[in-house]
Amino acid sequence: MKTESFIPYSTAQYTEAEIQQRSEDYYHAIDQRRSVRMFSDKPVASSVIDNLVRSASTAPSGAHKQPWTFCVVSDPEIKAKIREAAEKEEYENYHGRMSDDWLEDLKQFGTDWHKDFLTIAPYLIIVFKKAYDLVDGEKQKNYYVNESVGLACGFLISAIHHAGLVTLTHTPSPMNFLQKILDRPSNERPFLLLPVGHPADDAMVPDIQRKALDQVMVTY
């Protein structure tokens, strides 16, 4: 490796017992995360959202290009526009565009084309992926864009949960309307929409279980 331009790396060092405990603590904390569709309109400080997006943007990315833009929407008029457009698409999805198997798979989540959370949650974060960057009008290619932006969204979801807030991965389909409403440049494509806020006081979630370790891990 060529390391002439590198800088030293140091991070906290823990004992084996501490590492054991920390891995367990993190698992128990993140295991409490649920996708929540019932939001409160209780405000959240914009400085909190800044920190959540800062955290998301620490994710690894192909050639460290950070090929993402996080659009943070709190303006009620823009939220209403997004809800109107998303519900129009979702109406079509639930009335013919989704297969019977798909609709059957979704039954336990109780979802339909109504998307109240898009106007109730204090913030919508719409994540855009950048297939390329525009530098002085020149196209500069990005790498592993879907993987990179997916990782950043994972970091974002984890940060939201850690802060004590809730979110939901919402993918209205098709979602090019987001590019238009938010007036994004041609190198950006909508990737994921996350409402962020407090859960409603009477929020409910589906009664589902996670797969056990032996169903998701194979050791060699």
How far apart, in whole angstroms, are the C-alpha atoms of residue 179 and residue 41?
25
How far apart, in whole angstroms, are the C-alpha atoms of residue 153 and residue 159?
10
- Closer of 55 and 111 to ligand IYR (Cβ): 111
Closest CB 176 distance from ligand IYR, rounded Å:
15
Q: What is the dihedral of CA 142, 177, 57, 115, to 10 degrees?
A: -150
CB 61 within 8 A of CB 67: yes
- Closer of 90 and 188 to ligand IYR (Cβ): 90
- Closer of 61 and 73 to ligand IYR (Cβ): 73
Closest CB 170 distance from ligand IYR, rounded Å:
5
Cα–Cα–Cα angle for 176, 178, 184, nearest 5°? 95
Closest CB 46 distance from ligand IYR, rounded Å:
26
- Closer of 38 and 48 to ligand IYR (Cβ): 38
How far apart, in whole angstroms, are the C-alpha atoms of residue 43 and residue 196?
10
- Closer of 39 and 130 to ligand IYR (Cβ): 39
Q: Is 133 helix (H, G, I), strand (E, B) or coil?
A: strand
Contacting positions for ligand IYR (CB under 6 A):
90, 93, 106, 109, 111, 170-173
Ranked by CB distance to ligand IYR, the top (closest) residue is 111
* C-alpha distances in Å from residue 12, one per residue of 15, 155, 160: 10, 20, 23
Match 């109107």 to its residue by tokens: 84
Which residues is 72 bridged to in the sheet?
Answer: 125
Closest CB 61 distance from ligand IYR, rounded Å:
25
Closest CB 173 distance from ligand IYR, rounded Å:
6
